[in-house]
């Protein structure tokens, strides 16, 4: 029996015992006293079960996240998650573009000496793309999905030989290393990327790395 079911049954039992205690005439003090002890004992067990349930409900959630957003956090690939503006605004305040992808991951600062953080006007692009990546991550088995490259400012983009109008400049593109692709199997990885970015860009490079972007129109190379 799970803790929630047991708690509810105990609550009903405690209610019945309380009602029975009220029905016992006051002159039967011993019986009334025993019933009171049983009610108190059940109350303690209910409180212990409540604590177990609270721990289960918050399992895997950051301390700052209200419980009402638990489903969005645990199932970020769903329309419910990516369509909840309040949820997305809250997690952004805590450095998350989505539950499994952070602003730091999108930044180019830690990837190249010319790299920079995502500018504020491009953060909506980065967040929209992050929730696309959540779908990719889920379809690949909910395993970590390391990012090779995300946002690049113009100087960074030139330095690494990026295309003149690269989607990395708009913060809605990511590259994945050959090692990441191979860890899932290239055929499987490509099939997922084709589906998720059906209305975006998907590219394969001779090095074995891959590119996916949320440009809003189909592009393949």
CATH number of residue 99's parent domain: 3.30.1380.10
**pLDDT, tens digit, for every residue of 105-129?**
999 888 888 889 999 999 999 999 9
Structure tokens at 146: 């390391």
* 90, 54: one domain: no
* 27, 85: one domain: no
Query: What local confidence, expressed as pLDDT, does residue 207 receive?
Result: 96
Q: How confident is the model at residue 10 (pLDDT cuts 50, 70, 90)?
A: confident
What does the pLDDT average to over 10-28? 80
Domain count, the chain: 2
**pLDDT, tens digit, for every residue of 81-99?**
999 999 999 999 999 999 9
* 81, 103: one domain: yes
Query: What local confidence, expressed as pLDDT, does residue 38 receive?
Result: 85
Query: What local confidence, expressed as pLDDT, does residue 54 receive?
Result: 73
* 87, 137: one domain: yes
Domain containing 216 equals 67-220
* 114, 214: one domain: yes
**pLDDT, tens digit, for every residue of 150-205?**
999 999 999 999 999 999 999 999 999 999 999 999 999 999 999 999 999 999 99
């Amino acid at each position: 029996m799970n803790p929630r079911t047991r708690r509810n049954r105990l609550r009903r039992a405690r209610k019945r015992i309380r009602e029975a205690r009220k029905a016992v005439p006051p002159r039967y003090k011993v019986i009334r006293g025993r019933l009171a002890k049983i009610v108190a004992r059940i109350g303690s067990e209910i409180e212990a079960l409540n604590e177990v349930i609270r721990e289960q409900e918050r399992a895997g959630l950051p301390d700052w996240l209200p419980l009402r957003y638990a489903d969005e956090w645990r199932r970020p690939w769903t329309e419910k998650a990516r369509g909840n503006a309040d949820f997305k605004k809250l997690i952004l305040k805590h450095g998350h573009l989505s539950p499994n992808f952070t602003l730091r991951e999108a930044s180019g600062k830690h990837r190249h000496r010319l790299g920079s953080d995502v500018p504020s006007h491009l953060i909506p692009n980065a967040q929209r793309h992050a929730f696309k990546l959540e779908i990719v991550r889920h379809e690949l088995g909910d395993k970590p999905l390391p990012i090779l490259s995300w946002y690049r400012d113009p100087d960074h983009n030139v330095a690494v030989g990026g295309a003149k109008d690269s989607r990395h400049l708009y913060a809605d593109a990511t590259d994945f290393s050959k090692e990441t692709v191979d860890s899932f199997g290239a055929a499987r990885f490509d099939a997922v990327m084709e589906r998720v970015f059906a209305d975006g860009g998907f590219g394969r490079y001779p090095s074995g790395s891959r590119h996916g972007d949320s440009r809003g129109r189909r592009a393949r190379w």
